[in-house]
Amino acid sequence: MVFTIIALIAIFAPWIAPQNPYDLAQLDIMDGRMEPGTVGGAGFTYWLGTDDQGRDMLSGIMYGLRISLTVGAGSALIACLVGASLGMMAAYAGGRTDGLIMRLVDLQLSFPAILAALMILAFLGKGILNVVIALVVVEWAYYARTVRGSALVERRREYIEAAQCLALPTRRIIFRHLLPNCLPPLIVVATMQIARAIALEATLSFLGLGVPITEPSLGLLIANGYEYMLSGKYWISFYPGIALLVTIVSINLVGDQLRDVLNPRLKK
């Protein structure tokens, strides 16, 4: 429910935000660093205050949410595709392929995500696309492990055997028979991973290695407020953080609910 509202805000940000934070004509540098609730020069109330450039924080958060959600969901989706294909391959092919893919998964999971992402960004440089690449690289392993786990169970079932007896092509068995039955846990993991990806992106952007300054995500907004924090101007960092927190918690709640709905064993 909360998540729906957040998603809607992100999608319709350009239409509902009181101000376009990237349109310099709408900004008034005289309105910089105003406290929440002040009325600006143009007779405009800044409910959440303004940053150093005189941007309305509320609008900034709405646009930032857009970028955070796009990067988070986009990278989770690509990682899901990559991870699920590899996991499926490992489970179906077995043997050496399985061993190789699972060693890679182990290696990936034993290395902390933040460090791996940091390394990749150090090589590739900043930019939205590079952040997405980094997030995909650190996240695919979770999907691969999940899919492999459920695919290993499912492929021993009778319906797969039946499909094999019908001499259906392997591709058809994998996509039409095996994959749909492995989806429920995958969907839950994907939801949780979106939240993780958003948090990770925010952290990377906060460190100055994430999205470029021209397309500020929530993490970058928080980073911008860091230097003003020490002089007591809390709102520049505070409100984007709250927005980030609400987003992450609401996605995790959606994931929890999905798990309950999709797992018949948990139904009482």
Partner 1 sequence: MTVFLLRRLMQAAVVVLAMSLLVFIGVYAIGDPVEILISPEADQIERERAIAALGLDLPLWQQYLVFLGKALQGDLGRSFVFNEPALQLILQRMPATLELAFGATFAALLIGLPLGLYAGLRPDSSVSKGIMATSILGFSLPTFWVGLMLIMVFAVQLGWLPSTGRGETAELFGLRWSFLTWDGLAHMVMPAINLALFKISLVIRLTRAGVRETMLMDYVKFARAKGLSPARVTFVHVFKNILIPVVTVVGLEFGGTIAFSVVTESIFAWPGMGKLIIDSINVLDRPVIVAYLMIIVLMFITINLVVDLTYSLLDPRVRLESKA
Instruction: By CB under 8 A, name the binding residues for partner 1.
Output: 107, 110-112, 114-115, 118-119, 121-124, 195, 199, 202-203, 206-209, 219, 222, 225-226, 229-232, 234, 237-238, 241, 244-245, 248-249, 252
With contact defined as beta carbons under 8 Å apart, do 111 and 174 qualify? no
Residue 210: CB minimum distance to partner 1, A: 12
Closer residue to partner 1, CB minimum distance, 27 or 58: 58
3-class SS of residue 211:
coil
Instruction: Give the pair of three-digit tokens for residue 39.
Output: 């009325």
Residue 80: CB minimum distance to partner 1, A: 21
Instruction: Give the pair of three-digit tokens for residue 240.
Output: 């984007």
Closer residue to partner 1, CB minimum distance, 58 or 198: 198
Cα 265 from Cα 217, distance rounded (Å): 39
Residue 133: CB minimum distance to partner 1, A: 13
With contact defined as beta carbons under 8 Å apart, do 92 and 169 qualify? no
Backbone dihedral region of 49: left (phi > 0), alpha (psi from -120 to 50 degrees) or beta? left
Residue 234: CB minimum distance to partner 1, A: 5
Closer residue to partner 1, CB minimum distance, 42 or 249: 249
Residue given tokens 């998964």 in the structure block: 105
Closer residue to partner 1, CB minimum distance, 26 or 126: 126
Cα 255 from Cα 258, distance rounded (Å): 5
Closer residue to partner 1, CB minimum distance, 174 or 211: 211
Residue 245: CB minimum distance to partner 1, A: 6
